[in-house]
Structure 1
Amino acid sequence: MITTLVKGGTPPEHLARVQSTLPANGHAPLKIAMVAPPYFDIPPQAYGGIEAVIADLANALVDLGHQVTVIGAGRDGTRARFWQVWEQAVPERLGEPGPEIIYATLTRRVVENLHAAGEVDVVHDHTFAGPLNAPAYDAMGLPTVVTVHGPVDSELRGYYRTLDRDLSLVAISHRQRALAPELNWVGAVHNGLRPQDWPFQREKKDYALFLGRFSPDKGAHTAVRVAHEAGLPLILAGKCAEPAEKKYFAEHVEPLLGPHDDMIGIADATLKRELLANARCLLFPVQWEEPFGMVMIEAMVCGTPVVALRAGAVPEVVEDGVSGFICDDPGQLPAALRAAVELDPAECREQVVRRFSDERMAMGYVQAYRAALAERRQPRASRGARLAVRSGRLTSAGDR
């Protein structure tokens, strides 16, 4: 049973928290309604990459002087204001259509309340069904910025095309954006994290690590073979709960495991950091268009290099020969794994501090918000004309 705490127009008492810091860039502070998925706490206690990004982004935006209201389920875990839609997160409902639709309806009511109180300038939605609320927000004069966390070389591409004129999309990598250039992108902002929250360790233990969801695309089966060929035991950690994940593990991964390998399952935040900090390297043999790959920067910030296949955003995240090795063929991975011991852990961390910090991510989103606001201020007719141009170009170049 799902219960909602959204009742009437009175916000929770702790929503009254406000920020007084002025942004260093001189622009007026923005009031941002951040719509999070309802499946995991923010930040998550274990699995939940999107929720981890939302937590760091919300905190960094607050540090920059903006007013952020996180609309979500479960506990209040950030320095932003929090509007609790459901008392508890519902991880067991992940993948069901019902919670998505109900939650989207309820979050729209929250945004309406915030708008009536003059407490929102822009809506930033991280959910799947939430973008369907964009026309209602547009009628209020609010742009909807949507982070595309999933692959656009899928049915999501048609979904976002249909909603095109109502959404301002942000890609999490340049590769993701390039796969669907006709969509209404307002920017590409790499995921980030707060480096201070992650341990750094120079001395490593003698194991390789696979950390990710158990599906063929993530390549856990390849990771086992590579680690064995390189002469290293492998620790595997990650989500293996849904029927397809269990089937894949039982048929394609478990038969390959040796006596020195270890399957942990989902690691909580503490164990995850310990595993990443101690590993000789993270194996990331993805075999799909990975939009970003959060675990790569989580490893690097701990001083652990990444050995990966060239796919998706991997070349944007890993600097080959500095923070890891990028291979074009699985047969190259064992040698790269053996060579990873020569890479400097301090340089791995520096790559994240310099390129993938929470502050850098927040500044990128502020630019996206302002771009969406500027586009929203243009006459509806001109926005529709741009849509027609994009649609015409797509029809002539891509659909025939």
Structure 2
Amino acid sequence: MVAPPYFDIPPAGYGGIEAVLADLSNALVAQGHRVTLVAAGRNGTRADFRAVWPDAVPHRLGEPGPEIIFAAEARRVVERLIAEDGVDVVHDHTFAGPLNAPAYARLDVPTVATVHGPADSELRGYYRALGADLPLIAISGRQRTLAPELNWIDTVHNGLDPADWPFQRAKGDYALFLGRFSPDKGAHTAVTAAHEAGLPIVLAGKCNEPPERRYFTEQVEPLLGPDDRMVGPADARRKRELLTNARCLLFPVQWEEPFGMVMIESMVCGTPVVALRAGAVPEVVAHQVTGLICDDPGELPQALRDVTELDPGECRAHVVRNFSAARMGLGYVRAYRRALASFAMPSYLSV
């Protein structure tokens, strides 16, 4: 299991991929598989661990250098693992790491890669160039539909361990925006909708890179009223507290969100989601059961009023049934077996 080098696993705060990696690794170990996590920083999982770097580098997020250097050094670690311990499959969660797939194939080990980001952007050409030798795993059906020609081998929704998340029926009277501060995440839309519904809003999330700070200063902060709060990045404890007590999570995304982890984190706490219909939202939220999906921002204020009618217990049950770490683990085992079967098949038969 090859992780990006930016955050510990699990992450203390921001780090959606790393949170998924931690729960996936633990689920696979619980299901009887031997998992080795190749990463930077510390290991907070039940998997075996090989550190490429002693420390994660969150301050380098977004720079190409660490990604490429880490991929080169991780390759040496994985090749040693293959030689020493025996490896059935390499599962890469990084951007540059899939370029190592041919090296592992020469050692008779297939690689699969989860596409955690958008596949319909300029990255589409990158994954297309990797060709038929690298099986790709989508995190939503919508992500896969937007780039159907890529070498998808399976779709596995993200998951979490419900036991790690609190549940509470009683809710506070505020809307919560929790996410990266970027126009496509829609924090400005969230503030406007909350005010029109007569609700205060709490804003939390990553806001440290220059474009994020500029967006907040220019488009979000001027909208805030005296009852609103901007709390900035939220660590694991604070995130759970905010989600558990909110009337709802307000998720007015304005782009093709490949999944949206914060939606299942909210629902497992018993907190419904009010969202715009974009990306994977309809796959994740059960409309009128675990949240309300709107087709237009003008519908959000009424949805914020109506969302109190939804049952917190149904929200949690929906995640337990459909987005548990155990279910995610079983989905990835299915994908690994497909990759192994394809890898073992002579090329003239796999065409």
Task: Look up the match of 1:45.
Answer: 12
Q: Alignment partner for residue 185 of structure 2, among 218, 221, 236?
A: 218
Q: Distance in 2 between matches of 1:96 and 1:308?
A: 31
State which of 301, 304, 312 in structure 1 corresponds to 2:268: 301
**2:302 pairs with 1:368:** no
**How far 1:382 sits from its partner (Å)?**
4.1
Q: Which has more radius of gyration?
A: 1
Post-superposition shift, 1:139? 1.0
Task: Report the secondary structure of 2:51's partner residue.
Answer: strand
SS at match of 2:211: helix
Q: Aligned pair 1:231/2:198, yes or no?
A: yes
The one of 20, 32, 50 equivalent to 1:65 is 32
**Aligned-residue identity in percent:** 73
Cα RMSD (Å) of the superposition? 0.7
| Number of residue pairs aligned between Structure 1 and Structure 2 | 351
Find the aligned partners of 2:76 and 2:119 in 1 and give their Cα distance: 29
Q: Which residue among 240, 243, 264 is the counterpart of 1:273?
A: 240
Write the deviation string for residues 18-37 of structure 1: whole angstroms up to 9, x where unpaired. Answer: xxxxxxxxxxxxxxxx0000
1:150 aligns with 2:103: no
- Once the two structures are TM-superposed, the CA of residue 367 in structure 1 deviates from its matched residue by 0.2
Indicate the residue corresponding to 1:179 in structure 2: 146
**Does residue 188 in structure 1 map to residue 155 in structure 2?**
yes
- Give TM-score, length-normalised by structure 1: 0.87
Q: SS at the partner of 1:312? A: coil
Distance 2:214 2:163 in 1: 38
Q: What's 2:300 paired with?
A: 333
Question: Are 1:93 and 2:74 matched, yes or no?
Answer: no
2:252 is matched with: 285
1:303-326 deviations in Å (ceiling 9; x for gaps): 000000000000000000000000
Other-structure match for 1:76: 43
Is 1:250 matched up with 2:217? yes
SS in 1 for 2:135: strand
Q: Unpaired runs of 5+ in structure 1?
A: 1-33, 387-400
Name the CA distance, whole Å, in 1 between partners of 2:146 and 2:54: 38
Offset, 1:160:
0.6
3-state DSSP of counterpart to 1:35: coil
1:349 pairs with 2:305: no
Tell whether 2:232 aligns with 1:262. Answer: no
- 2:308 maps to a residue whose letter is V
**Residues 107-116 or 286-295, more deviating:** 107-116
Write out per-residue CA displacement over residues 188-212 of structure 1, whole angstroms, 9 at most, x where no aligned residue. 0000000000000100011000000
Structure 2 alignment gaps of length 5 or more: none
The Cα shift of 1:380 comes to 2.9
Which residue is 1:240 aligned to?
A: 207
Cα shift readout 1:156-177 (whole Å, capped 9, x = no counterpart): 1110110022211000000001
Read off the aligned partner of 1:260 and give its amino acid letter: D
> Distance between the aligned counterparts of 1:118 and 1:253, measured in 2?
52
Aligned-partner residue type, residue 319 of structure 2 = V
- TM-score computed with the length of structure 2 as normaliser: 0.99
What secondary structure, in the 3-state scheme, does the structure 2 residue paired with 1:180 have?
Answer: coil
SS at 1:104's partner residue? helix
1:197 to 150, 161, 164: 164
1:307 is paired with a residue whose SS is strand
Distance 1:178 1:255 in 2: 38
